[in-house]
Amino acid sequence: MSPETEPAAGEVEVVEPGEAADVVDEMAEDAAASPRERLLIALDIDGTVLLEDESYSPGVVDAVADAQNAGHEVMLATGRSWEGTRHILAHLAITPEYAVCSNGAVILKRVGDGPEYERFHTEQFDATEVLRLLRDHLPDAHYMVELPDGRRLYTDQMDDWNLARADRVPFEELSAQPVSRVVVVSEDDTDHDFVELVSRIGLNEVSYAVGWSAWLDIAPQGVDKATALEKVRDWLGVPAASVIVIGDGRNDIGMFRWARAHGGRAIAMGQGPEEVRIEASESTASVTEGGVTAILRGL
């Protein structure tokens, strides 16, 4: 040590090794006891946690575990049904108190310490008129409805649909009872075609989201990920400014606006289109580059 770097006299107190160890232990205990801000972190699944081939974004499993171990509540907010969500929770090895599914129409609650969940809050509506209107304009599309109890009814099979607890039925049976949501897939149309169709026919009594393929998801009016997450935030007692939401799609715009409006962080994945990214308060790397991992490591 050079004279320039030597501490001034009286600045350093020399202690015995045993006493030094006690000091270190006390510092560690103080650090562990110091409360950190508890965050509610809501992650979209497809394009955020998962790549298109259903593999996981680099580092995301470990980053989620570290965030959870730090005391944060890490949960999923997805357009998927519960049947398509539960195995993602299992792979991430998390059991949050709540899970938001079906673009906010369904909220699951953990039973005890998990890993079992029950349908805790479910929205529903009469889809008769919506289905008739869509069928008139998209007669060859594939239709599916999710019932309040979680069962699903569909008209034609799609290779990428998870059909657990699903039954194939004639189109007319889809509207025989109230539903939580309607899913429409038209292989002959693009997402831009769907946006134009929705604008033209006027789906004014429902909420809807258009996917990146020709996919349309319809929920009860005023229902989206944001409305469900606000309920969860309130139930958990987390301050609105302590919320982080991360997503990449049009169905994430609502929760972006909600988080931003209340002082939280709304983070768009780097590969998301401009119309989604401009609604966020910030952007991260793409899903292939580990965008969620980068955010969670920086907490």
Question: For residue 200, what pLDDT is reported?
Answer: 83
Which token pair is 194? 């769907």
Query: What mean pLDDT do residues 16-42 have?
Result: 57
Least confident of 5-9, 83-87, 160-164, 217-221: 5-9
Query: What mean pLDDT do residues 231-247 have?
Result: 98
**Domain 128-220, CATH:** 3.30.1240.10
- The domain segmentation of the chain, as residue ranges, is 40-123+224-297, 128-220
Question: Can you state the percent helix, strand and coil of the chain, rounding each to 5?
Answer: 35, 20, 40
Question: For residue 203, what pLDDT is reported?
Answer: 73
- Judge contact between 250 and 215, C-beta under 8 A: no
Question: For residue 259, what pLDDT is reported?
Answer: 98
**CA–CA distance, 137 with 114 (Å, rounded to integer):** 44
Q: Is the pLDDT of residue 2 over 60?
A: no
The region, left, alpha or beta by phi > 0 then psi within -120 to 50, assigned to residue 181 is beta
Least confident of 53-57, 98-102, 215-219: 215-219
Q: Where are the beta strands (DSSP E) in the chain?
A: 40-43, 73-76, 98-101, 106-110, 117-122, 142-146, 152-154, 166-168, 181-185, 206-210, 215-220, 243-247, 265-268, 282-283
- Most confident segment among 3-17, 208-222, 241-255: 241-255
Query: What mean pLDDT do residues 122-150 have?
Result: 93
Query: What mean pLDDT do residues 108-125 have?
Result: 94
Question: For residue 290, what pLDDT is reported?
Answer: 98
Query: What mean pLDDT do residues 139-168 have?
Result: 87
Question: For residue 38, what pLDDT is reported?
Answer: 95
Mean pLDDT (the chain) is 87
Number of H helices, E strands in the chain: 9, 14
0.95 exceeded by pTM = no
- Judge contact between 54 and 65, C-beta under 8 A: no
Distances from the Cα of 264 to the Cα of 166, 233, 295, angstroms: 37, 12, 14
Question: For residue 204, what pLDDT is reported?
Answer: 64
| pLDDT, tens digit, 9 for 90 and up, residues 167-215 | 999 999 999 999 999 999 888 887 778 778 877 877 766 677 776 566 8
Q: Is the pLDDT of residue 7 over 50?
A: no
- Binned at pLDDT 50, 70 and 90, residue 127 comes out as very high
Residue 117: exposure state from Cβ atoms within 10 A (0-12, 13-18, ≥19):
buried
Q: Is the pLDDT of residue 13 over 50?
A: no
Query: What mean pLDDT do residues 127-134 have?
Result: 92
- Binned at pLDDT 50, 70 and 90, residue 20 comes out as very low
Listed in sequence order, the DSSP H helices in the chain are 17-33, 60-69, 86-92, 128-137, 191-201, 225-236, 253-261, 274-277, 291-297
**CATH class assigned to 40-123+224-297:** alpha beta
